[in-house]
Amino acid sequence: MLAIGLLLTLKSFGQAPSEILLFDLDIQKNKLSISNPKNITNHPGYDNQPFFHTDLPIIYYASFNDEGRSDIKYYNYKTGETKSLTNTPEREYSPTLTLDKQFISCIVQRDNGAQDLCKYPLEGGEALPIINNMIVGYHLWTDNSHLALFILGKDKKPNTLHYLLLPTKTDTIIAENIGRSLHRVPGENAFSFVHKITETKWFIKKYNPRKGVISVISVTPPNQEDMCWTPDGKIFFSDGDKIVWMDPKKDKTWKDVPVSSGAELLKGITRLAVSADGKKLAVVVAE
């Protein structure tokens, strides 16, 4: 009965059961490969949205409890320990380390339909509100005072990309019909996003806040939106049951990421994340 109830709850919240695999990543100039996968969640239900701490061997992620409510957990891949950062009656998603490394910011989905952006101290404690006047889907800290925001459209209006200056609440709409992947571009004063121009034409683009300019990086794999950057400027992209990559400074086409071991586990791939040292790759797969 518990398994049936949990599946019904997951279905009602629209989140498919998933697991997070942690691979070793080997990058050598124009050659790379992944190997030695470990299921770091191994838990029935939704485990998703991995985010690496920039200094510590820790991955934060969102995980459903038995009641179908998402809390933020974290896994230490040196010790193998998993702990909870939040345990609340709300639902927390998209954990993100703030740039001062003092908080985890996340989306808080409330029973009244609100989706606020809040932050929790790393050592635990009460949520501190950041944004509570928009329906925030995803977010990215571009610096300590600016946020890139995926804002859900109301009344059948498209999702929009916003650039928000927190101290003054100055809000600029950058684009419509965007995907959920928002990332800082390594080595540049810019952040990337997926722009869904039509049902079949999707592009990776970047926005330079100082110049106010949007430029195209590449076409995405067909109808895919989950990506991440490596520290040296390569792009990894989910392509269903495989991972592809390119160096946008050199390449025009996507290449398959060689998998030395664990290729059979790569099914229903969605979100990806690379550690700050470029040695680990987190991959979300279907349960």
- The arithmetic mean of pLDDT across residues 41-51, rounded, is 96
Q: Which of 14-18, 36-40, 272-276 has the lowest mean pLDDT?
A: 14-18
pTM value is 0.93
Average predicted confidence (pLDDT) for the chain: 93
Query: Is the pLDDT higher at 8 or at 38?
Result: 38
Residue 262 has pLDDT above 80, yes or no: yes
- The arithmetic mean of pLDDT across residues 239-259, rounded, is 95
Q: Own/partner pairs for 173-180, CB < 8 Å, 24+ apart?
A: 174/148, 174/207, 174/214, 175/205, 175/207, 175/214, 178/150, 179/225, 179/226, 180/137, 180/138, 180/150, 180/225, 180/226
The pLDDT score that the predictor gives to residue 148 is 98
- The arithmetic mean of pLDDT across residues 107-135, rounded, is 95
Q: Own/partner pairs for 263-268, CB < 8 Å, 24+ apart?
A: 265/21, 265/37, 265/39, 266/21, 266/241, 266/242, 267/241, 268/16, 268/18, 268/240, 268/241
Q: How many domains does the chain have?
A: 1
Residue 205 has pLDDT above 70, yes or no: yes
Q: Domain span at residue 23?
A: 2-286
How do residues 153-196 score in pLDDT, each as one tens digit?
988 899 999 999 999 999 999 999 999 999 999 999 999 999 99
Q: What is the CATH number of the domain that holds 197?
A: 2.120.10.30
Q: Please, which pLDDT band fits residue 15 given cuts at 50, 70 and 90?
A: confident
C-alpha–C-alpha distance, residues 63 and 202, integer Å: 29
Residue 33 has pLDDT above 70, yes or no: yes
The pLDDT score that the predictor gives to residue 14 is 56
The pLDDT score that the predictor gives to residue 66 is 87
- The arithmetic mean of pLDDT across residues 81-99, rounded, is 97
Residue 41 has pLDDT above 80, yes or no: yes
Residue 3 has pLDDT above 70, yes or no: no
Q: Please, which pLDDT band fits residue 72 given cuts at 50, 70 and 90?
A: very high
* Residues forming a β-bridge with 259: 34
